[in-house]
Amino acid sequence: MIKIAPSLLAADFANLEKEIKDIGNADFVHLDVMDGQFVPNISFGIPVIKALRKHTGLTFDVHLMIKNPLKYIKAFADAGADIITFHVEADDDVSDTIKEIKSCQKKCGIVLSPDTPAEAVIPYLDMVDMILVMSVYPGFGGQKYIPASADKLKKIKEYIGQRDIDLEIDGGITADNVKQVIDAGANVIVAGTSVFGKENRKEAIEGLRK
Ligand code: DX5
Ligand code: ZN
């Protein structure tokens, strides 16, 4: 099943309660956490996620772009994350971080930045619920989709085989390229600018679905 995950990074931060209610027809809310170290930008963190939790029943898909995810997993779990993803390029041990997410009884996912090869997922295939392929360099919304991402999705889809693992794509997704990434194997579609950049968020989500 295809799931649409609007990224709140492109929303109006002065009206987050309204924004999150406006995307009630989505499947996930994608929450981009940036620490100014792993990526050259700072976004929002634990208290904002906790505050938003009261206002929606949508699945919280928390994307950690932080240097040391391990020590913050429990805090994000307690704040209301349902799925926690972190970068294999981060400083902490990948298996230890996966185990920590699972010990909090949350779904776990690993993320690959554009320069990390598809093969990097192989050791973790029997441990994760989701794999996120970045189709832009992490750190900023509104960038242009990197076309090589489709081949990477195809490779990872093959590695996944019959396993029950969601394949998420994040960065520069629009109504014009969404079919291409779905054909390549993605089933969770992150969309920031192409949802919150539109006047009518609900219609934008339906447009992507179509
Ligand atoms: C980038 C973030 C993305 C971003 C997507 O570092 O991980 O989730 O918000 O935004 P768009 O859809 O505008 O590329
Ligand atoms: Zn993201």
pLDDT of residue 135: 99
How many CB atoms sit inside 10 A of residue 207's CB?
Answer: 16
- In short, whether 6's Cβ falls inside 6 Å of ligand 1 is no
pTM over 0.85: yes
**Residue nearest to ligand 1 atom 12, measured at CA:** 192
pLDDT of residue 161: 98
Pocket test for ligand 1, best of 64, 89, 190 (most atoms within 8 A of CB): 190
The minimum-distance atom of ligand 1 relative to the CA of 191 is: 12
Pocket test for ligand 1, best of 64, 143, 178 (most atoms within 8 A of CB): 143
- In short, whether 30's Cβ falls inside 6 Å of ligand 1 is yes
SS (H, E, C) 116-164: CCHHHHHHHCCCCCEEEEECCCCCCCCCCCCCCHHHHHHHHHHHHCCCC
CA-based nearest residue to 160, from 206, 122, 112, 198: 122
pLDDT of residue 36: 98
Please report, in tens digits, the pLDDT of each residue of the chain (210 residues total).
999 999 999 999 999 999 999 999 999 999 999 999 999 999 999 999 999 999 999 999 999 999 999 999 999 999 999 999 999 999 999 999 999 999 999 999 999 999 999 999 999 999 999 999 999 999 999 999 999 999 999 999 999 999 999 999 999 999 999 999 999 999 999 999 999 999 999 999 999 999
List residues bridging with 34 in a β-sheet. Answer: 65
